[in-house]
Amino acid sequence: MEQNNKIAWVFPGQGSQSVGMEADLLDLPLGKMKFQQAEEILGWSVVDVCQNPDEQVSRTLYTQPSLYVIESILVDLLHHRGNQPQLVAGHSLGEYVALYAAGVFDFATGLQLVKRRAELMDSASGGQMAALMKFDRNQLEEQLAQTPNVVLANDNSPLQAVISGTPEAVDEVVNNVKARRVAKLNVSGAFHSPMMKEAAAEFQKVLDAAQLQDAQIPVLSNVDPSPATDATTLKNRLQQQITGQVRWREISLRLPEEGIEKVIEVGPGNVLTGLIKRTCSELTLENISNAASMH
């Protein structure tokens, strides 16, 4: 592998899942082993969920663990081939895979955290999230400042943002901001907002009990896009993530500042490379969505 240019691995979160995304990992001994281990931890089969034609994979409870398992297997395959990034980051759920890739916890510890996170987020109700494409940023910031119960949840790129809050507050903002397109997200709760406070408090208990090591590679976190390797720092950032903003636009901008030249999105779809391209067009982008896409 070319070691001369600095590479970052980034990991997508909820919204990148698709039926059949596990397909070519099933034939690999490593894949089989990890799917088996995951089933023992979860009490259900990621493979069955991914093969279910009724989009079971798009329910938060199943989406998050399934993405974690599949992306972790891809990380293992990359490591087996001698690949190592110089920096990692993940979008929301993807941050857990980034921490796994950086050696902060083992596969099982990460999956147990993700399982609990998915359960808590899946049971959240009464919230709404909406994505705005090609919007007026100043107008959005003004509107959010004067509307209670709604926040900027994901600052994804200069052209895309997600707001989160009560359905009434989300509607009010959406109706008063010019945007090319608005899409309500298919989630039950107002993720990455103060409405997730109870879930965050519950999650803290599991996180407190988890063993985290210092990262072997710097991690850019959602709530703080500065590189960190200290286990306590990374744990605190994870804790804030459930109620905090996903600052993906700033993560994208940080990559070239850290000397990164190439970004590989490891996981299904190409959401993150699309967002990074709109923020930092000079970076070389690649997608590894399955075993076949590795060379």
Predicted structure pTM score = 0.96
For 181, the enclosing helix (H) or strand (E) is strand 179-184
**Lookup: tokens for 152:** 């900027």
Whether residue 221 is predicted with pLDDT greater than 80 in this model: the reply is: yes
pLDDT score of 4: 62
Q: Which of 58, 66, 72, 92 is catalytic?
A: 92
Dihedral sign of CA atoms 222, 223, 226, 232 in order = negative
R_g of the chain, CA atoms, integer Å: 18
The answer to whether 150 and 144 have CB atoms below 8 angstroms apart is: yes
Domains assigned to the chain: 7-123+194-293 (3.40.366.10), 128-184 (3.30.70.250)
Distances (CA, A) of 202 to 85, 140, 167, 208: 33, 32, 24, 10
Predicted confidence at residue 1, as pLDDT, reads 42
Distance CA 276, CA 156 (A): 9
The answer to whether residue 92 is catalytic is yes
Mean pLDDT confidence for 216-241 = 97
Give the CA count within 13 Å in the CB-facing half-sphere of 27: 5
Q: Active site includes 192?
A: yes
Among 66, 192, 193, 221, the one annotated catalytic: 192
Mean pLDDT of 197-219: 96
pLDDT at 113 over 60: yes
pLDDT tens-digit series, residues 42-100 = 999 999 999 998 889 999 999 999 999 999 999 999 999 999 999 999 999 999 999 99
What are φ and ψ of residue 180, in 5° steps? -65, -40
